[in-house]
Amino acid sequence: MIELASSENWSEARRVDPIAYGLALLLGVLGLAALRWYALALIAALLGGAAALLWAANYTRSHLRWLVLAMLMSEVIPSINLFDESSRPLVRYGLIVLFCAPVLPSAWKSGLLRQGGFRLYVLYFCIAALSIAYSLLPLYSFSRLLGAVMLFGAICAVVSEVRDDRDIRRVFGVFWLGCAIVAVMLLVARFAFPADLAWIEDPWSEGPVRFAGILGSPNQVGEMMLTTVASGMLYWPLASRRTRIAIVTSFVLMLWFDLLADSRSPFVAMAIGLFLWSLAHYGRRAMIAWTLILILAAGVVSTLSPEKMEYVNRGNVTTLTGRTDLWNFTIAKIKEHPLLGYGYEVEGQIFQDRYFPLRGDLWELGPRISTHSGYLARAVGVGIPATLLWIFLTLRALLLALGGGGRFKLADAVMLAAVPVLILNIDESAVADCRYSVGLLLALVWAMAERSRLLASATRESSGYPDPGAGLLASYSMF
C-alpha cells in the first residue's frame, strides 16, 4: 500500500538467513510448550521481541531510510505512560544505541560532519560537552548529549543517501508511517485504556482533564498531530490512492486527538505553516479562503455562551497559562550565567532555586520540568553565544531552502514542517536536539536543507557560476 521501498529492497528483505530460521524454529517449539507451561509464553514473547529488534536494527543499517521510523519510535515508545520514570531512560537509550550506533561509521565516512553547517553543529556539540564539567547535573547532561549525538549522526547517515527530490519525499513517507502507527495506538487507547491512564489532569491550569492516550502528556499528542500533518502532506505527491486515503484518515484522527488533548500551541503553529504553504501555491485564492475561515471562526466564537468562553480563555491566557512568570525567572537566571549556562539540557533544575516563587510537587521533578520555551531552555543550558550559533546554523540553511536555493526543492518542507516547529518552540520546549517527534522532524528538514546547500555550492564552484546567494549569507560560505 505504501510505496516507500523498491521491489528490489523488498526482495532482499524477504531473504532469511539460517540464524533467522533457527530463531523461528526455537520460538515455534516454545510456543507449543507454552500451551502446557504458561511461563514459557513470556520467554517466547521476550525472545520474539528481541529477535524482531535485532532483525530491524540489521535491516535499517542496510536500508537507512527506514532508520527514520526506528528513531521516531525510540522517542515515542519511552513516552508511553505504562512506563515509569525509572524505566524510560533505559528503554530510550537502549533503542537509540541499538539502532543508531551501527550507522555512525556511515555518517562519518559520508564526509558531511566535516562540512558546512554539519561541522558547526559538531562545534555546538563540543560546547555542550564542555558544559558537562560545570553542569548542575553532569550525568544528566552527559546522557542527554550522548543521545542527541547518536540521533544526529543517524540523521546525517540517512540524509547522505538522499539523491533527489523523490528520495526526500520517501523519507518523509517513512516518517508519516511512524506517525500513523502512533495514531492507531492513540485510537486504541481512546477506547480501550482506563480513564486514569488515557486522560490527565492539567497541572498548569484549572480545567477539565486532557487526553494523552498512550503518551506521557497531552502536549505530546499535539506535537504528534503537527508531525503527522506535515510529513503526510510532504509525502502526498508520491502516495497512491489508497495511501492518500490512509493519510487523510490519519489527519482526521490526529486533529480529533489534538482537540481532546486541548493542545492549542501545535494547532496554531500548524495553521501558520499551512497558511504559508497555501499562499505560496495558490496565492490570492488562498488569501480569500483564509479570510473566509477567519470570519467564520470569529462568528462561531461570538455565538459561544459565557460558560464556553470561560473554558476557551481558561488558564489565564494573558500570561500564556503562567508561562510569562516562568520566563521572567528563567531570564533572570540566564543573566547570572549568560556565557556558559548551567549545563546541557538541565534547564528545569534552575527551578530548585530557593528564590523560585512557585512551590508544589510539579516543581520537584528537576530537569524533567520544562521552561516552556525552547530558546530560553537552550540559553539556560549552554549559554547565549552557543544558542546564537545554533540559531544561525539552523536559519541559514532553512532560509536558503525557503528561497529556492540549493540542489533539492525543500520550500514545502520548510513551510509545513520547520516553520511550525520553530514557532511551537517559542512557548514549548519542543526543539531539543533531535528529541521528541518535532525535534526529529526539524533536524531531518535542516539536514536535508544543509546538504542541499552544500551540493549546490559545490556545483557552482566546479562550474564557475557565481553564487546567487552572494551577500551576507555568502560571507559565511567558509563554514
The band of 313, judged by pLDDT with boundaries at 50, 70 and 90, is low
Q: What's the whole-number mean pLDDT along residues 311-334?
A: 69
pLDDT above 70 (res 23): no
Report if residue 305 sits inside a domain: no
Asked if residue 147 and residue 262 are part of one domain, the reply reads: yes
Number of domains observed in the structure of the chain? 2
Least confident of 40-49, 343-352, 438-447: 40-49
Are 371 and 459 found together in one domain? yes
Within-domain flag for 5: no
Same-domain check for residues 129 and 44:
no
What is the rounded CA–CA span in Å between residue 294 and residue 298?
A: 6
Averaged pLDDT, 33-37: 54
C-alpha cell at 428: 514549548
Q: Is residue 211 helix, strand or coil?
A: strand
135 and 42 assigned to the same domain: no
Question: d(Cα 379, Cα 154) in Å, to the nearest integer?
Answer: 25
Domain match, 119 and 52 both: no
In which band, very low, low, confident or very high, does the pLDDT at 185 lie, cut at 50, 70 and 90? very high
* Same domain membership, residue 51 and residue 91: no
- Say what percent of the chain tops pLDDT 70: 79
pLDDT digits (tens, 9 = 90+) for 86-127: 788 888 999 999 999 999 999 999 899 999 999 999 999 999
Q: Measured between alpha carbons, how far is residue 148 from residues 101, 128, 155, 233, 267 in Å?
A: 12, 11, 11, 27, 26
Q: How many beta carbons lie within 10 A of that of residue 39, not counting itself?
A: 9
H-only helix segments in 101-240: 104-109, 116-131, 138-160, 165-192, 195-198, 218-235
Whether residue 144 contacts residue 382, with contact meaning beta carbons closer than 8 Å, is answered with no
Residue 121 shares a structural domain with residue 47: no
Quick check: is 51 in a domain?
Answer: yes
Between the alpha carbon of residue 396 and those of residues 14, 124, 403, 424, 473, the distances in Å are 42, 15, 11, 19, 7
Amino acid 134: pLDDT: 94
The pLDDT score that the predictor gives to residue 30 is: 54
Residue 13 lies in a domain: no
48 in the same domain as 170: no
Of 39, 62, 85, which residue sits at a domain end? 62
**168 is a domain residue:** yes
54 in the same domain as 71: no
CA 266/CA 224 separation, integer angstroms: 9
142 in the same domain as 126: yes
- With respect to residue 35, please indicate whether it lies within any of the assigned structural domains: yes
140 in the same domain as 28: no
Domain presence at residue 300: no
- Report the range of poorest mean pLDDT among 3-12, 151-160, 407-416, 455-464: 3-12
> What is the pLDDT confidence band of residue 200, given thresholds at 50, 70 and 90?
confident
| Structural domain that includes position 195 | 63-282+321-476
If asked whether residues 45 and 123 sit together in one domain, one would say no
Decide if 304 is inside a domain: no
